[in-house]
Amino acid sequence: MKGPSSFLTVPYLLVRHELRLLVSLWLWAARRTHGAVAGGSAFGYARGQGAMMFGFAFVCVVESVGMSVLLGDWPTVHHVVLFLDVYTVVIVVGLHAASVVRPHVLDPAAGTLRIRRAVHVDVRIPLERIASVRRELHATHERAEGALDLAVGAQTSVTVELAEPVTHVTFFGRRREVRVVRCHADDADGLVRAVKQAREGYAVP
């Protein structure tokens, strides 16, 4: 049986998640990047999802206008539904903003590769644990033990295999040990090349 703290955890996580989305909107508007470090390199991954996310936001706006017309004779219900519709649009745009302002980050000075997916995933991989990194396009991903697939636009373009596992904490706090991380990068070749150079001790351009 779950205790009171267990029931409080989910609302806390949801509130924290949405606050992070709102912060991401502010960072996006200010053209700032979360987690960027001096001497490090950032690699975006949101380009492939932009059209889809804004298309979804447009559909939500159209639906909101339609509901406003249908509920014009019920002002209280209309106001509630309008608030929910507007908030949905904000969250959808916030999801895209979070992907833009939270790129993958390679930090040679700290010896880490930080793989991210919006505000949902943030995995730090020590460079010494990377066995191999390669450009590899995957359009389908079967759920496998020890694998973390972070698809964007239903595909991943970079595969990182680890000599030792790293811990990934899921949205609801469950800990998973992963040995293979597949992610997408707009410049997949650049990310692979930079990680290889960092592992070999060369300066990352």
Alpha-carbon distance 140 to 66, whole Å? 36
**Residue 8: what pLDDT?**
53
Contacts 24+ apart (CB under 8 A), 162-165: 162/125, 162/129, 162/130, 162/131, 163/129, 163/130, 163/131, 164/129
Q: How far apart are CA 149 and CA 43, in angstroms?
A: 17
Give the model's pLDDT for residue 97.
93
The phi, psi pair for 165, rounded to 5°, reads: -70, 155
Q: What is the mean pLDDT of each run of 10 residues along the chain (205 residues)?
A: 52 86 94 88 88 78 81 81 86 92 94 94 95 90 86 92 94 90 96 93 51
* Percent residues over pLDDT 90 in the chain: 52
Q: What is the pTM of this model?
A: 0.83
pLDDT of 50 reads 74
Per the listing, tokens 């302002």 go with: 101
> How is residue 102 annotated by DSSP?
S
Query: What's residue 9's pLDDT?
Result: 76
Sorted by where each begins, the domain ranges of the chain are 4-33+46-100, 106-200
Summarised one tens digit per residue, pLDDT across range 156-176 is: 999 999 999 999 998 878 899
